[in-house]
Structure 1
Amino acid sequence: MLEGNHVTRISVRGVAVASATAVTAVGAVVGVASGSEGSQAQTVDVAGATLLADVPMGAHAQTVSDNFSAQANAQQVSADAAAKKAAEEAARQKAAADAQAKADAEKAAKAADEKRKADEEAANRAKARSALVADTTSYSPGSVQALAAGIIGDDSQFQCFSQIVKRESGWDYTATNSGSGAYGLVQALPGSKMSSVGSDWRTNPATQIKWGLGYMNDRYGSPCGAWSFWQSHHWY
């Protein structure tokens, strides 16, 4: 490169086109100068040919290249922004789902704990009521018999029931056999069997009567069937 001169870079395609155009123009001029017979002078439309001026050069070429680069960069930035937004939305939805699941679990645990406490309080109240009844209620033999008559209903079956209870406990609902440990009106052995009817089996004659009536019906068909067996064996 000569000092002080500026050379503009031209694309390879532009050089090829310019060269071909120049060769064609020169050939046409030579043909006219040769004076060949039968030939006529031809006018070459040099201005209509593709010249170097049609090819982007210098600053214009750089501008075109910069525009392409800018478009590519803009597209990449847009794609990156869309991907980032999608990732953020997915993360937000997952966080929301996790938070909801945690809240539901905490709510269920709280409800279960509240139910457990309520059940415990109800059981404690029932226990306290039972203890109060045991401490303050006293039944006479006559009142216990009347209670049994009302529970059994049938007078003949009550009479059979009464015969057994009279011999087993004398209508004492706290009667305890010192040898076997049988307990109550019907001398259940062990007395805890009567808990299937009520937890107050130690102090509530009604619970003992209901259990004894059920036992006689299941084992002997009725209180009178139990009394018939008792008379033969002196136990039932």
Structure 2
Amino acid sequence: MSRISVRGFAVASATAVTTVGAVVGVASGDPQVSDNDFETAAADMTLLADIPAGQQAQVQTASLTQQADVMAAEADASAKKSAEEAARIQAAKDAKAKKEAAEEKAEREREAKEAAERASRDEVRSASSFATQSSYTVSQVQAIARQMIPADQFQCFSNIVDHESGWNYQAQNPSSGAYGLVQALPGSKMSSAGADWQTNPATQIKWGLNYMNDRYDSPCGAWSFWQANNWY
């Protein structure tokens, strides 16, 4: 280099960005640019003028490249921030949609369960639909009960009958006078379900189911009470 030393060129290159920035700031009326900044910029420009034209182009190119790199970095940071915010918003939307889907599924399952229970109750046969017999075995009495008691309540009803009479529709307590499958006390109470209450297990089942529903809301409610008190 003929007109500037290597050290001088390095100094000029290092200050090029500051020089250009200061001049641009003054030109745009930036209030943060002081007179000292302008004087410094002017001195730097004088220094830059001492550099041969070809070398000036190199310095200016380096300055513009650095500015472009800074702008690109800022753009990348802004894009990353926007992407993170968009991802957060989408995650919140996905979580909300998942929760709503779970709630809808639970509601459908509840409705399906209630529909199944209603269907089960609709299929229950009345006592009068069974032909009367002169006698009944335990298995026959249980089969009648299965057709008269809602499926989800049968086991509770069966538990009570197991303890009260062992499925003997003619069982009678000699001391209290309780009678039948559900040991109605007195047995004549069951006449409200039919005049054949003494001989027809279907009539006794009908009365027992009505009693449990009225007093305990259901056979399972009656069984819960029975377990706590050994009577119902």
**Which of the five TM-score ranges fits, normalised by the shorter chain?**
0.3 to 0.5
TM-score normalized with structure 1 length: 0.42
Select the structure of larger CA radius of gyration.
Answer: 1
